[in-house]
Amino acid sequence: MRGSVPPSWTTPLRALRRSRGAFRAAGVMASAALLLPLAPGAATATVSRPRTDALQQAFAEAAREYQVPQSVLLGVSYLESRWDSHSGAPSVTGGYGPMHLTDAAHALAAVPHHSDGREDPRGDGSRPFAGPRATRPAALPAGELPPRLRTLEQAARVSGLPREALRKDPAANVRGGAALLAAAQKRLGLPLSGNPADWFGAVAGYPGSTDTATATAFARDVFDVIRSGQRRTTDLGQRVALPAAPRLTDRTEQVRRLGLADLPDEETECPEAVACEAIPAPYEKLQGDNYGNHDLADRPDSQKPEFIVIHDTEGSWETTIKLIKDPAYVSWNYTVRSADGHIAQHVPTKDVAWHAGNWYVNAKSVGIEHEGFLAQPDAWYTEEMYRTSARLVRYLAEQLSIPLDRQHVLGHDNVPGTTPASIKGMHTDPGPYWDWAHYFDLMGRPFRPTGGPYAGMVTVLPEYDVHKPAYTGCTAPAKACAPHGSGAVRLYTQPSEKAPLVKDSGLRPDGSASTIDVNDTGARASTGQQFVVAERRGSWTAIWYLGQLAWFKNPVSQPTAVNAFGKVVTPKEGLAEIPVFGRAYPEKEAYPAGVPVQAVEPLPYRLLAGQAYAMGQRVRSEYLWAKTFDPAGHKVIRGKDVYYEIQFGHRVAFVKAADVTVRPSNQ
């Protein structure tokens, strides 16, 4: 099972070394105090977890051995992993351990695919997507992997440590990262100085960026962390601290020594604090009336964007860039690279990309893909990716007047199907291990209580690092996933973990039960989502979810939700039930001649009398008619019908304003 091997923290040095000489005597003595034997037959290996200061000491020892300032080593590691070890599991781009040493060839050896290829990324029944289905592209052969995806191999070479140790032993991994930094410092002709400022160039080169702007942006982020300081308890219970050094300076002139290219001077829609380039998606006419891979528009004048949708690429950066250049493939607006946070913009925000599987959402959203060629949902994302993406989302939210909340910033797994037939094929990325709480913290919009115990709603907010619900299917069907922090809570039919999970009649029309598979969204609520409280009983809270009562564990000692206040919708008096929709399309009378009426088909759910759901936004019914290569033939049809977005299940949904009453959550 991936990630199941416990850290040794200190495999004896003779077992780790292959070619380099021993540490200095002081280093060996300090190391011996930290380490436990890794050999399975060692009778003395009786302690299953290291001391809580073992990782801090591993950083100190590696810094002494390779003459790298400890603050530099800690800063780089924080930007890659936040000092987490993930029990030896690789990141979404094949990076291992606290230093995110990449070994993509090893990580890709057995990678299952989790997205359902039946989804139509365009999501428009009037013009189904004619290109290839959104299946996972083939991985690059090991020999074609770029250097940034093979840094563990380089670390093994310069440190003499075995690759297996670099992957699974946090202390060895830290030494490997220190060795890479020291080697880079020597290549740049810079001294092994005790002054962190002298290491700006080596830090800039660490993630393997190919351009000066991205390398500089990464180093600036590392140095910002060193200036501000950090303190954290890691996923393995290790307490690590980086003291603040507020007077540290950025020596950006050192980056030129790396000999990297400059990004082209092209216009992009990106914040200044990130490195961003334009890699346009082609707009070309194909055979017959077909064209791809997006639609030209004039947003926000034509339609106001209301959503930002978070995806992962299920392919490496290189593969993803090849695909976005294919006019017969699909499209999205931005891609964010993992190790260094580099951004490419493909489709202007004024145009409509084909990414969400729901045409209404596509027409009113911006899609952001995050590099992740490991499709396993238990794979993790780098801190630099989170930070850069958060900056981009905050910038887009400001530019497009999109509120920063979970009603407007959606995962692909929160986008509803358009019809009953499309529900099962909707994608499930970024999955239950995306850290929504940390993501919104970085955007300056942390989730907090907004009401008291009688406010009538809750915001889902488990403590990510310690909340580790069991999942299956990360590496093989029905196989248990390695324990991992999660931002999702599980929903039951009764206040007991022995009770059945709630059912999703859209995912399983046959009435079969939901499962704990990582891609089964039928009984799951995620961080930041808000629901109306139906009942509380001891350590359990019941909410309205998919037309039914759903219970989740919410003990006072370790709460998984906080109280909230807001607006909710409930069926109008006299209505026993109302329909729920996956898109907010106009009534048939709104369509002009020449534009076929789009059916307003309800989803296979019902919102029943006595139930209430958290209201997101009020939207006027709209439909973008776009079937011609010439955008002059495109039309936006607006109706009189008004809809409310609601948090109906794991995915959002829409109800007609005429069917519901809006009230405060505490009434």
Q: What is the pLDDT of residue 375?
A: 61
Mean of the per-residue pLDDT values for the chain?
89
Q: What is the pLDDT of residue 17?
A: 37
* b (16+ CB within 10 A) / e for 512-521: eebbbbbbbb
Residue 228: closest CA among 216, 217, 249, 243: 243
pLDDT, greater one: 639 or 15 = 639
Residue 316: closest CA among 86, 72, 91: 91
Q: CB within 8 A of 294, min separation 6: which ones?
A: 281, 283, 331, 347, 351, 352, 353, 354
Q: Where are the alpha helices (DSSP H) in 82-122?
A: 104-107
State both tokens at 361: 């959402």
pLDDT 10s digits, 346-395: 999 999 999 999 999 999 999 999 998 876 676 899 999 999 999 999 99
Q: CB within 8 A of 76, min separation 6: which ones?
A: 99, 177, 181, 203, 206, 222
Q: What is the pLDDT of residue 49?
A: 58
pLDDT 10s digits, 577-612: 999 999 999 999 999 999 999 989 999 999 999 999
What gap in Å lies between CA 108 and CA 491, rounded to an integer?
33
Is a pLDDT exceeding 70 seen at residue 330?
yes
pLDDT 10s digits, 134-188: 444 555 566 678 999 999 999 999 999 999 999 999 999 999 999 999 999 999 9
Q: What is the pLDDT of residue 379?
A: 82
Q: What is the pLDDT of residue 122?
A: 87
Q: In which element (H, E) is residue 277 found? A: strand 276-278
Region 603-628: mean pLDDT is 96
Q: 248, 223 in Cβ contact below 8 A?
A: yes
Provide the CB-side half-sphere exposure for 375 (13 A, CA): 21
SS3 of 483-542: the string is CCCCCEEECECCCCCCCCECCCCCCCCCCCCCCCECCCCCCEEECCCEEEEEEEECCEEE
Is a pLDDT exceeding 90 seen at residue 125?
no
What gap in Å lies between CA 665 and CA 289, rounded to an integer?
50
- Dihedral angle sign, alpha carbons of residues 480, 482, 485, 487: negative
Q: What is the pLDDT of residue 413?
A: 95
Is a pLDDT exceeding 70 seen at residue 25?
no
Q: 621, 526 in Cβ contact below 8 A?
A: no
Q: What is the pLDDT of residue 107?
A: 83
Is a pLDDT exceeding 90 seen at residue 29?
no
β-pair type (561-564, 457-460): antiparallel
Region 253-280: mean pLDDT is 96
Q: Would you call 636 helix, strand, or coil by DSSP?
A: strand
Domains of the chain: 51-107+154-258 (1.10.530), 264-432 (3.40.80.10), 571-664 (no CATH)
Region 410-421: mean pLDDT is 96
Region 499-519: mean pLDDT is 95
What gap in Å lies between CA 234 and CA 84, rounded to an integer?
5
Residue 380, phi then psi, degrees to nearest 5: -115, 160
Q: Would you call 564 helix, strand, or coil by DSSP?
A: strand
What gap in Å lies between CA 577 and CA 349, rounded to an integer?
38
* b (16+ CB within 10 A) / e for 458-496: bbbbbebbebebebbbbbeeeeebbebbbbbbbbbbebe
Is a pLDDT exceeding 50 seen at residue 550?
yes
Region 473-484: mean pLDDT is 87
What gap in Å lies between CA 239 and CA 52, rounded to an integer?
6
Residue 414: closest CA among 518, 490, 309: 309
Region 626-644: mean pLDDT is 95
Q: What is the pLDDT of residue 6?
A: 40
Mean pLDDT check: name the lowest of 60-64, 243-247, 478-482: 478-482
Residue 225, phi then psi, degrees to nearest 5: -65, -40
pLDDT 10s digits, 54-67: 999 999 999 999 99
Rounded (5°) CA angle 73-79-82: 90
